[in-house]
Structure 1
Amino acid sequence: MATEYERKAQMISKINDEIVKNGFKSLTMDNMSKIMGISRGKLYQYFASKDEVIEAVVARYIRFIEEKSMIGQPDNHQGYVDEFVSIFFQNIILASSASDVFVNDLKEIYPDLYHSFTESMTKRQAAIENFYDAGITHNVFNQGMNTRLLHLQDQTMLSLIVLPAFLFKHRLEPAQVMRDYLHLRVTAVIAPPYQHLVNQEHVDAQIKHLDEKFRRVMWMTT
């Protein structure tokens, strides 16, 4: 039997997709209860107001960001390559879930939550830059890279390739563009002697999972 925490987590997971696509400015408790597939009364048993729902959604994001920001320094070449690939897919998830409409609504309506959210993202950025610097020091990553520019480039590009309009305009398929962009990053970041260490089976599984998720959430007709 699910605990209260697990039930609340399931409810937040269901509303999250709607918020990613359309923001939350116009959402009401009635709307949210329908999206969650529960009665309005049931929703109020767990959340006293819309504010509490939004707070729970943001807390979910921040937990994910903070969990994935605990990036260590691997002790071998394979560890650096595996971590690099994991960071790539984590960044795709964040780019797709923290949509512009969600972030803009957050900034406008809940500035304190927006501050907490952006602060967590800033800490994650610093952790990733430190990881890249360590990889350069250990000669696993290419020398002479600007690690801050590298991360900013990823943020910019990944925020585009999760947009349906961008993909449609350029006749790109989600799975293929993820695969091709990862190949570009591997070539640009990982030193040639270690590029073969990329676990292609893991990459294929991640792309398949994300492709299915994005088609359901981002590319479905609203």
Structure 2
Amino acid sequence: MENRIINKSAEMFLKHGFKSVTMDDIALEMGISKKTIYKYFKNKKELIKIVITQLIEKISYGIDFIFEMNLNPIDKLFTIKDFVTYYLKSESSSPFYQLQKYYPVIFNSLISNQFNKVDEYVIKNLKNGIEQGLFRNDINLKLISRFYATGINGIKNAELFNPIQFNNLEVQKNFLEYHLRGVCTQQGINYIETIIKIKVNNNE
């Protein structure tokens, strides 16, 4: 029952937002009493913290799997972006806007825990890209990885990128292209433009 509650809560939080969904909503959706939920979680804040922790673990596992795939470094970044976007289902709602606004301690913990993992991924990706001639060999790996990690966290800032004003998918797509155009060789840029044309033709 505990895992069922976590999974259903995650689904509802990501669809409607962490503030919008109440414990009553979850109980009603599951056809159980709110008392049953409180048997496993002392309050909504604890439930959200557990949901976020499990989400990050699942996403990290998925990214690890993508990194082991036989893809070039540019394809890996596009695949990761698509995976995270699909997994979080955040194109039509703003769950992390509510998380940041109403549960800042949990949000800041999420950002802090994510930083080192992103840093590790990016440096590995940059090294592979340089070896394959797709990324410039004169870039400062540590500095660029910090730029990227800061940017990834920055675009989650609802004060800077209000989801009402900025479409989340557009923000993510433009951020990735911004990053890649800054580190790519001409060979890499040509490859990016080929990918973008394919995605445009497929209406992605």
Question: So what's the TM-score if we normalise by structure 1?
Answer: 0.59
Aligned equivalent of 1:104: 104
Q: How many residues align?
A: 187
Partner of 2:146: 152
Of 78-87 and 65-74, deviating more is 65-74
CA contact 1:11–1:36 (8 Å) conserved in 2 = no
Secondary structure of 2:179 counterpart: helix
- Aligned-pair CA distance for 1:159: 3.9
CA deviations 1:178-204 (Å, max 9, x no partner) are 444333222212221132333226755
Gapped runs of 5+ residues in structure 2? none
- Asked if structure 2 preserves the Cα contact closer than 8 Å seen for 1:129 and 1:147, the reply is yes
Cα 1:141–1:167 change in 2 (3 A) is same
Counterpart check, 1:166 vs 2:160: yes
Corresponding residue for residue 211 of structure 1: none
Q: How does 1:178-197 map to 2 (within 5 A)?
A: 178-197=172-191
Tell me which residue corresponds to 2:78: 85
Distance in 2, matches of 1:133 and 1:206, equals 30
Identity %: 12
AA aligned to 1:84 is L
Residue type of the partner of 1:15?
A: F
Seen in structure 2, the aligned counterparts of structure 1 residues 62 and 184 have a Cα distance that, compared at 3 Å, is closer
Query: What TM-score, normalized to structure 2?
Result: 0.62
Aligned Cα RMSD in Å? Answer: 4.4
What amino acid is aligned across from residue 106 of structure 2 in structure 1?
Answer: L
In the alignment, structure 1 residue 18 sits paired with structure 2 residue 17: yes
Distance (Å, rounded) in 2 between the aligned partners of 1:205 and 1:64: 31
